[in-house]
Amino acid sequence: MANIYKRKIIPYSRHFIDKNDINSVVNVLKSDFLTTGPTVKIFEKKISKFCGSKFSICVSNASAGLHLACLALGLTKKDIVWTSGITFVSSINSALHCNSKIDLVDIDKDDFNISIKNLKEKLKIAKSLKKLPKVLIVVHLGGVSCKMKEIYKLSKQYKFKIVEDASHAFGSKYDGKHVGNCKYSEMAIFSFHPVKTFTTGEGGVVTTNKSDIAKKIYSLREHGLIRDKNKFSDKNQGAWYYEQQNLGFNYRMSDIHAALGVSQLKKLKKFVKRRNEIAKIYKKELNNYPIKFQNLNNNLSSYHLLIVKFPKVYHHKMFDLFRNKNIKVNIHYIPLYMHPFFKFNKKKYSNNLKNSQEYYDTAISLPNYFHITNKEIYYVINIIKKFFNKKNKMISIK
Ligand SMILES: *Cc1c(COP(=O)(O)O)cnc(C)c1O
């Protein structure tokens, strides 16, 4: 039988599964627990240890985690939530699920994360209009941490709460410490979708240091049920008793998924190391070409995404060229103001969020994942080199 899994394309990212991962999942399949049980607990403990957070609450996916984060902070329709102009839709859908109003902050041209300068200006105006956000959802794009100290300072000055959409940043560091330690935020949310740095198939986690937030999220993850008998409104019931005190969801992670996570987490540092090596090759080889790499601000990136900017005039052409060569590059992301559902004034926002628009007009995520071969990387690199060498020749002939 032909191997139907044989890859003919080079994706921008891909999961890596080995025998240990398979055995770990099979062991759970043979055990007493399939849904949330002992393996989720073990996985949560390991995540807390890795990230340096007091609590970790596993959820069915990062979007669910972001939704619970917004609920745990008590967001309602009276509140305003801000996020980056360039992020995945679920960063802001979480606030819309709480009926909150939303707005966008422009990004920095060099690190592609929320621009501190723009944030400062926007906060100043919002204060005078009495329209300050209750929550700012920051996004560590591609795995590069936002400038958390600066944002934290502003959060104290303007009294908003910080949630980290750290979907890209498991294994990344800020100021020498792993993202997810929540030193400068209420919570961080990671995604374990297969394209991210490591996977559980589908899955996510919320990390926090605050026990009241952790308790809320544990409860909301399971329909809003309370199992702590000290918290019951009716204390005269038997051992079977539990109470619903809030409206929650079934956002649990299963032990099957957690088993894959426990085994994958052992390889995480190796994954991040290899992704950094690959980035180094791209940077070295393309040094003399008109390509701009994301600024890491001297922090360690998980390199979930290897984002580069091409000159605007060649951007569309480069994208099509890669796709025609079976290299499944992608654009992360279409600016949020482009999506009709959010009802932003597209023209106004593309004018005001200049860096987000420039990013959209130039950025492409190139292939970068643990088991991509050097041959494949050079195949991608040579396509870029050839394209620009040809352009140069044409210019010099003219
Ligand atoms: C992947 C991603 C999410 C959603 O993750 P899921 O686990 O698929 O729900 C949210 N935000 C960002 C920035 C992402 O890249």
Residue 184: CB within 6 Å of ligand 1?
Answer: no
Atom of ligand 1 lying closest to residue 204 CA: 7
Ligand 1 within 6 A of 90 CB? yes
Residue 193 CB less than 6 A away from ligand 1: yes
Q: 235 C-alpha vs ligand 1 centroid, how far in Å?
A: 40
pLDDT value, residue 3:
53
Is 62 near ligand 1, meaning CB less than 6 Å away? yes
**Which two tokens mark 189?**
């949310």
Distant-in-sequence, close-in-space partners of 354: CB < 8 Å, separation ≥ 6: 106
Please tell me the predicted confidence (pLDDT) of residue 391. 85
Total Cβ atoms within 10 A of residue 346: 14
Query: What pLDDT, on a 0 to 100 scale, did the predictor assign at position 1?
Result: 47
For ligand 1, say whether the CB of 115 is within 6 Å of any of its atoms: no
Alpha-carbon distances of 66 from 30, 59, 72, 159, rounded to whole Å: 32, 10, 10, 20
Is 394 in contact with 299 (CB distance < 8 Å)?
no
Ligand 1 atom 13: the closest Cα is on which residue?
88
Show Cβ contacts of residue 72 under 8 Å, excluding neighbours closer than 6 positions. Answer: 187, 213, 216, 217, 220
Classify each residue of 306-319 as buried b or exposed e, where b means 16 or more C-beta atoms within 10 Å of its C-beta.
Answer: bbbbbeeebbeebb
Q: Is the distance from the beta carbon of residue 200 to the nearest atom of ligand 1 less than 6 Å?
A: no
* 371/297 Cα distance (integer angstroms): 26
Mutate to test the pocket of ligand 1, among 58, 165, 307 (most ligand atoms within 8 A of CB): 165
Which residues fall within 8 angstroms of residue 310, CB to CB, at 6 or more apart?
A: 290, 291, 318, 362, 363, 364
- Contact 204 CB / ligand 1 (< 6 Å): yes
Cα 171 to Cα 228, 281, 367: the distances in Å are: 34, 20, 19
Please indicate whether residue 13, judged by its CB atom, sits closer than 6 Å to ligand 1: no
- pTM (predicted TM-score): 0.96
Q: What is the pLDDT along the chain (398 residues), one digit of tens a residue?
A: 455 555 589 999 999 999 999 999 999 999 999 999 999 999 999 999 999 999 999 999 999 999 999 999 999 999 999 999 999 999 999 999 999 999 999 999 999 999 999 999 999 999 999 999 999 999 999 999 999 999 999 999 999 999 999 999 999 999 999 999 999 999 999 999 999 999 999 999 999 999 999 999 999 999 999 999 999 999 999 999 999 999 999 999 999 999 999 999 999 999 999 999 999 999 999 999 999 999 999 999 999 999 999 999 999 999 999 999 999 999 999 999 999 999 999 999 999 999 999 999 999 999 999 999 999 999 999 999 999 999 887 766 65
